[in-house]
Amino acid sequence: MKFKKTITVALLAFSTGFITPVFADAIPANPTEKASKEALTQQLTNRLVEIKNMDKSHLSFMEKKELRKEVKKIKRERKSNGVYLSVGAIIIIALLLIILL
């Protein structure tokens, strides 16, 4: 019985180290930060639409390659705005729920 409690406490302490940093970025520090993120997202979306509507037939191979790189970079930046939980954190949360409930 003591072993089970020790494991439960150890898992809880271990998972807290993983869960806390994930939620730390979820709430913006101030309203202007949230507004600036929304403005940046809108600018990136506008640039993607602009690139999509371009007439690329007159561009050289290197210019097209640079546009593709820019599109990939913009898509990565837009994707990085979310909160992600790692597989390990999800497994630990599930184990804690099973053990505690």
Q: Could you tell me if 76 and 55 lie in one domain?
A: yes
The whole domain housing 72 covers 42-82
Let me know whether 47 and 72 are in one domain: yes
Is 37 among the domain residues? no
Q: 78 and 60 in one domain?
A: yes
Is 80 exceeded by the pLDDT of residue 26?
no
88 and 99 in a common domain:
yes
Taking 70 as the threshold, does the pLDDT of residue 29 lie above it? no
- Can you tell me the distance from the alpha carbon of 101 to that of 94, in angstroms, rounded to the nearest whole number? 10
75 with 88, same domain?
A: no
And the tokens for 37? 């993120």
Question: How many Cα atoms are found within 13 Å in the side-chain-facing hemisphere of 40?
Answer: 13
Whole-prediction pTM value? Answer: 0.49
Predicted confidence band at 83 (pLDDT cuts at 50, 70, 90)?
low
Number of domains in the chain: 2
**Is 32 inside a domain boundary?**
no
Same domain assignment for residues 72 and 91: no
- Of the candidate ranges 44-48, 59-63, 85-89, the one whose mean pLDDT is the lowest: 85-89
Residues 65 and 90 in one domain: no
